[in-house]
Structure 1
Amino acid sequence: MDEYHVVDWADATWLNPPPAAEPDADGLLVTARGRSDFWRTTSYGFVRDDGHALLTGLPAGSAVEVTFPAAFDSLYDQAGVMVRVDEQTWIKAGIELTDGVPHLGAVVTRGQSDWSLSPVPEWADRQVTVRVSRAGDAITVRARCDQGPWRMVRLAPLAPDAVASAGPFCCSPERDGLKVRFTRFVTGPADKALHDA
């Protein structure tokens, strides 16, 4: 990111505050509520909107990046970036543990949720950065491991006039006690082009 601004944890707003969120010299350690999730209807038939997201504004022409270690050990443990308009319009993108392997994926929700994912076993226990960039009528999601190359994850629609916010999220759909340490939360300008990260 050419120009970025570090978001103070205290300057962002919680959607569904977690049981604990403790800032320290290494970042923000978040403890997720057990059985928390973000999902709407598709395949499973339920609506859950009680995961945790720490949000700041995502106006047109801006981007948000979040970094965290992909240290998960239970089914559906997950963390990354959420883009939020309202309870029926949102995107969550990041790492989720599925079938015993970390997967890089995204859920795009417009009334109903979808889910795309790809296994990244080599990313386990390493620093992952997820970036959402807003330009025109779209959100571009990219991610990388450590300081490696950016990987395109998803291109999803978002109305140009939508009032959106974005920031780190985590959920623990199957258990209690998930802890995620977010080590970086920054904002900056949107990507210059779809294929220029």
Structure 2
Amino acid sequence: MLNDVFIELPVNSTVKWLNPAPYWETDIGLCRIKPASETDFWRETYFGHTADNGHALLASFSGNVVISTEIIFSPQQDYDQAGLMIRLSDKNWIKFSLELEPDKTIKLGTTVTSQGVSDWSGEIIDDISMPITLIAEISSGACLLSMRYGDGLPNTVRITPFIAVKSGDMWAGIYAACPRQSGFVANFENTSMRVIK
């Protein structure tokens, strides 16, 4: 069952695929996704194109939640990416992910898409030899994004507005994409979503 990927979920949460990957497998607390070629999430800014065909396994929620996942990242092609997705619609979403850049650095990138326009920021990640945990706290009309190396303390990366809507309209979970050539497999472990006050 898809619900097994999440070690914790809000009561009555529904889990579904947005654009199922050609290859994926799940177990309790584990998900592996091999994205198809030419997949991504992006809208308009700078590049002038829109892509909404990345692969995301999302759980419904309402109110305030924290979602987190542990990623083992072994990219092969430029722009291979894996991380968290928070989504209201195709024009309003956030992706928070690890991504391989053309200069072969790994960046922790945040794309905030509002009213159909994407805004990206990123910082270099020096070490992906250990698991990296990505965390998104969605509360009080905002989203606080942070990351953690191994068992270390979380480090805040970005705070951005994110307006909650009615129950059933909000989704969050894990995603992966290969804007160029397919080949890498994204490994997610200990994904959870818990309600907060």
TM range (shorter): 0.7 to 0.9
Equivalent residue runs for 1:1-197 within 5 Å: 5-7=7-9, 12-24=15-27, 27-98=30-101, 99-110=103-114, 111-122=116-127, 124-161=128-165, 163-190=169-196
Asked if structure 1 preserves the Cα contact closer than 8 Å seen for 2:7 and 2:28, the reply is: no
Q: Report the CA distance between 1:73 and its aligned residue.
A: 2.9
Asked if structure 1 preserves the Cα contact closer than 8 Å seen for 2:29 and 2:191, the reply is: no
Q: Report the CA distance between 1:6 and its aligned residue.
A: 2.6
Question: TM-score by structure 2 length?
Answer: 0.87
Alignment partners' CA distance in 2, 1:85 and 1:26: 24
Asked if structure 1 preserves the Cα contact closer than 8 Å seen for 2:147 and 2:156, the reply is: yes
Asked if structure 1 preserves the Cα contact closer than 8 Å seen for 2:73 and 2:187, the reply is: no
Give the structure 1 partner of residue 3 of structure 2. Answer: none
Q: Which runs of 5+ in 1 are unaligned?
A: 193-197
Q: Report the CA distance between 1:26 and its aligned residue.
A: 7.3
| Deviant stretches of 4+, over 3 Å | none
- In the TM superposition, what whole-angstrom CA distance separates every residue of 1:88-123 from its partner, at most 9, and x where no partner exists? 00000021111201111200001110110000122x
Classify the secondary structure of the residue corresponding to 2:45: coil
In percent, how many aligned pairs have the same letter?
A: 29
Alignment partners' CA distance in 2, 1:139 and 1:103: 20
Asked if structure 2 preserves the Cα contact closer than 8 Å seen for 1:5 and 1:188, the reply is: no
CA RMSD after TM alignment: 1.8
Asked if structure 2 preserves the Cα contact closer than 8 Å seen for 1:34 and 1:172, the reply is: yes
Structure 2: which amino acid aligns with 1:112? V
- In the TM superposition, what whole-angstrom CA distance separates every residue of 1:111-153 from its partner, at most 9, and x where no partner exists? 110110000122x232111111111110111111111121111
